[in-house]
C-alpha cells in the first residue's frame, strides 16, 4: 500500500516538475523580450563579424549578399549591428513610414574630427541643432529662389570652362579636372565670395574627401582602434582638419574685416559666409551660431556639394562616350533647342527632356553615394515584420535598388529612353530611384546640384565632340570605381575634344 502511495506521489511530483519546466520554457520562448524576430544575417566571424564580406566595393558586395539573404539583412560590422535595406519597399518603410525613428546619424570618429565634432548638417544627430543648421542652409542657400539667384555665377563659370576646353581643342585633356574646377568654382563663389582655384585648395579638398571616405576600425571594433592610430588615419584626419580650419579662419576673418570696411558689400553681393555672419550677429532665429558651426556648415556645403555633382557629370559623359547612339541623340536635342546660340543657358534646359532622362539614367546606374549616409534608429521599430532595436545603424543600398531587375528592365544597360514618358523622379518620392535619399535626411541640395549638372552636360555635348585618345573605342573606356562614401571613376576621363561648329 505504502509503496503504491509512494509511487503515486513520485509520479505526481515528477509530473509537477515537468509542468513547471514546461511553463518556464514557454515563458522564455514566448516572452515579449525574447520573441524578437530578427532579420536574416549572413554567417559572421568572431570579433570582425561580417566586415570581411564588404570587400573593396561594399555596395556591390551587399547587393550580392541581399540576393541570398533578402531585402532587409542584419549585418554585424565588428560589434555594430547594421541593417541593410536593398529594395524599394524596405527603403520606403525606413525613409517614409518610419522616417522619424531613423532620422539620426551614428557617431563616427572621422567626421567628428573633420567637422568640428559633427557640428555640420550631414553628420549631426537628429534634433533641434540639426533642424536649425539645416534650416539656415536651406533658407539662405538651397531653396528655389536662392538657387535661381546664383544663375549668373553658374553661367559665367560655365562660359569660362568652355573657353578653357576650347583652348585645348585637338589636345589630349583630363576632362575630369575641368569638371572638378567648374563645380568647385561655382560653390566657392556662392559660399566664399570668390574662387580658390590654386593647387593648395584643391589638394586640401582632395585630402578631406579621401579621409572622410576611409574605413575606421575604431568605429566598429573599439578594441582595434589602435589600428587607426598605427595606420596614420587619425593623424591624417587631424592634420586635414587643422589645415582646413586655418583656411576657413582666414576666409571668415577676411569677410569680417570687409564688413567693417568702407566698401561694404551690397545685399546682392552677399555670399554664404556674409549671411552666416549676419545670422550670428543678429541672432534672429534665437539660435546662437558659434564660429565652429559657421565653419562646419561651409565645409559641409563643399563636402556634400562638389564631389557628388562632379562625379555624376563624369559618369554621364563617360557613359555617353561608351554609347555613341545616345550621345548623338542628346547632341541632336541640345542643338535643336539652342538654335545656333553660342552657349546653352538655363532657360533652354526646361525643354531638354532627353538631357534630363540621360542624367536620371546616370544617377540610377552610377549612384554617386551608393549607400547614402548611414542612419541610426532612435526607437525600437517593427519593420516589415522584423524587430529593429534602438541604436541600429542603417544603410540604404540605393545603388542595388537602382539595379534591381524586378524594378528595371535590363538594369545594367545604359538606356536613358526608359525615363521618357515615365514619371519616376529622383526627389525622394519614388523609392525605385534614390540618388539623393529621401525623407527628413534626404539631400537638401538637389536643385543646386542638378542645375549645375544639366547646364554643364548640355554645354559640353553641344560645343564638343569627344573621343578617347589613341583611337581607343568608347566601349573600351575603363569604368572601374573607387571606394569611399562617394564613388568616382577610378581613372580620370582623358579625352580629345574637337569643336562641333
Interaction site with ligand HEM (CB under 6 A): 121-122, 134, 137, 142, 300-301, 304-305, 308-309, 312, 368-369, 372-373, 435-437, 441-445, 448-449, 453
Closer CB to ligand HEM, residue 58 or residue 368?
Answer: 368
Q: How far is the CB of 355 from ligand HEM (least distance, A)?
A: 15
Q: How far is the CB of 301 from ligand HEM (least distance, A)?
A: 5
Closer CB to ligand HEM, residue 301 or residue 468?
Answer: 301
Among left, alpha and beta (phi > 0; psi -120 to 50; other), residue 385 is: left
Q: How far is the CB of 496 from ligand HEM (least distance, A)?
A: 26
DSSP string, 311-330: HHHHHHHHHHHH-HHHHHHH
Any idea what DSSP says for residue 94? I
Q: How far is the CB of 439 from ligand HEM (least distance, A)?
A: 7
* Helix, strand, or coil (residue 77): strand
Closer CB to ligand HEM, residue 121 or residue 388?
Answer: 121
Closer CB to ligand HEM, residue 485 or residue 497?
Answer: 485
Question: Taking a C-beta distance cutoff of 8 angstroms, is the pair 304, 177 a contact?
Answer: no
- Burial group, residue 441, by CB count within 10 angstroms (0-12, 13-18, 19+): buried
- Burial group, residue 224, by CB count within 10 angstroms (0-12, 13-18, 19+): middle
Closer CB to ligand HEM, residue 293 or residue 308?
Answer: 308
Q: How far is the CB of 373 from ligand HEM (least distance, A)?
A: 4
Closer CB to ligand HEM, residue 78 or residue 435?
Answer: 435
User: How far is the C-alpha of 316 from the C-alpha of 360, rounded, in Å?
Assistant: 9
User: How far is the C-alpha of 213 from the C-alpha of 172, rounded, in Å?
Assistant: 30
User: How far is the C-alpha of 215 from the C-alpha of 74, rounded, in Å?
Assistant: 19
Residue closest to 148 by CA, chosen among 457, 458, 349, 448: 448
Q: How far is the CB of 92 from ligand HEM (least distance, A)?
A: 13
Closer CB to ligand HEM, residue 445 or residue 496?
Answer: 445
Closer CB to ligand HEM, residue 86 or residue 309?
Answer: 309
Question: Taking a C-beta distance cutoff of 8 angstroms, is the pair 37, 383 a contact?
Answer: no
Phi, psi of 170 (to 5 degrees): 90, -10
User: How far is the C-alpha of 308 from the C-alpha of 381, rounded, in Å?
Assistant: 31
Q: How far is the CB of 431 from ligand HEM (least distance, A)?
A: 11
CA 5 to chain centre: 77
Q: How far is the CB of 172 from ligand HEM (least distance, A)?
A: 27
Amino acid at each position: 500500500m505504502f509503496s503504491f502511495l509512494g509511487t503515486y506521489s513520485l509520479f505526481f511530483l515528477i509530473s509537477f516538475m515537468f509542468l513547471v519546466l514546461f511553463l518556464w520554457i514557454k515563458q522564455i520562448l514566448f516572452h515579449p523580450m525574447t520573441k524578437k524576430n530578427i532579420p536574416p544575417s549572413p554567417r559572421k566571424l568572431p570579433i570582425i563579424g561580417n566586415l570581411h564580406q564588404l570587400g573593396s566595393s561594399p555596395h556591390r558586395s551587399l547587393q550580392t549578399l541581399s540576393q541570398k539573404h533578402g531585402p532587409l539583412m542584419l549585418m554585424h560590422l565588428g560589434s555594430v549591428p547594421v541593417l541593410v535595406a536593398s529594395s524599394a519597399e524596405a527603403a520606403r518603410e525606413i525613409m517614409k513610414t518610419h522616417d522619424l525613428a531613423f532620422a539620426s546619424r551614428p557617431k563616427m570618429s572621422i567626421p567628428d574630427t573633420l567637422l568640428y565634432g559633427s557640428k555640420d548638417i550631414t553628420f549631426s544627430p537628429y534634433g533641434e541643432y540639426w533642424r536649425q543648421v539645416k534650416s539656415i542652409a536651406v533658407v539662405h542657400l538651397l531653396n528655389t529662389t536662392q538657387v535661381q539667384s546664383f544663375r549668373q555665377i553658374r553661367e559665367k563659370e560655365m562660359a569660362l570652362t568652355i573657353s578653357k576646353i576650347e583652348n585645348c581643342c585637338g589636345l589630349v585633356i583630363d576632362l575630369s579636372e575641368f569638371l572638378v574646377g567648374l563645380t568647385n568654382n561655382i560653390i566657392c563663389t556662392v559660399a566664399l565670395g570668390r574662387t580658390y582655384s590654386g593647387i593648395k585648395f584643391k589638394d586640401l579638398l582632395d585630402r578631406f574627401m579621401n579621409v572622410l571616405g576611409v574605413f575606421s576600425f575604431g568605429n566598429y571594433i573599439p578594441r582595434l582602434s589602435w589600428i587607426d592610430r598605427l595606420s596614420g588615419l587619425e593623424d591624417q584626419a587631424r592634420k586635414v582638419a587643422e589645415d582646413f580650419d586655418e583656411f576657413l579662419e582666414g576666409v571668415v576673418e577676411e569677410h569680417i574685416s570687409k564688413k567693417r570696411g568702407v566698401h561694404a558689400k551690397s545685399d546682392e553681393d552677399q555670399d554664404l559666409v556674409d549671411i552666416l555672419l549676419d545670422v550670428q550677429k543678429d541672432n534672429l532665429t534665437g539660435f546662437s551660431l558659434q564660429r565652429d558651426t559657421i565653419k562646419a556648415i561651409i565645409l559641409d556645403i563643399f563636402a556634400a556639394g562638389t564631389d557628388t555633382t562632379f562625379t555624376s557629370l563624369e559618369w554621364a559623359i563617360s557613359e555617353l562616350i561608351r554609347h555613341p547612339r545616345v550621345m548623338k541623340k542628346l547632341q541632336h536635342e541640345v542643338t535643336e533647342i539652342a538654335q545656333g546660340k553660342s552657349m546653352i543657358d538655363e532657360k533652354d534646359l526646361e525643354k531638354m527632356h532627353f538631357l534630363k532622362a540621360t542624367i536620371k539614367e546616370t544617377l540610377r546606374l552610377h549612384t554617386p553615394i551608393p549607400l547614402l549616409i548611414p542612419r541610426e534608429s532612435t526607437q525600437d521599430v517593427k519593420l516589415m515584420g522584423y524587430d529593429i532595436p534602438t541604436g541600429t545603424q542603417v544603410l540604404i543600398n540605393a545603388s542595388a535598388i537602382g539595379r534591381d531587375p524586378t524594378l528595371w528592365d535590363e538594369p545594367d544597360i545604359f538606356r536613358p529612353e526608359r525615363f521618357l514618358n515615365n514619371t519616376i523622379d529622383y526627389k525622394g518620392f519614388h523609392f525605385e530611384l534614390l540618388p539623393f535619399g529621401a525623407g527628413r535626411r534626404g539631400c537638401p541640395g538637389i536643385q543646386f546640384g542638378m542645375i549645375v549638372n544639366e547646364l554643364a552636360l548640355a554645354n559640353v555635348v553641344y560645343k564638343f565632340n569627344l573621343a578617347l585618345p589613341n583611337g581607343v573605342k568608347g566601349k573600351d573606356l575603363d569604368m572601374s570605381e573607387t571606394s569611399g562614401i562617394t564613388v568616382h571613376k577610378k581613372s580620370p576621363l582623358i579625352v580629345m575634344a574637337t569643336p562641333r561648329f
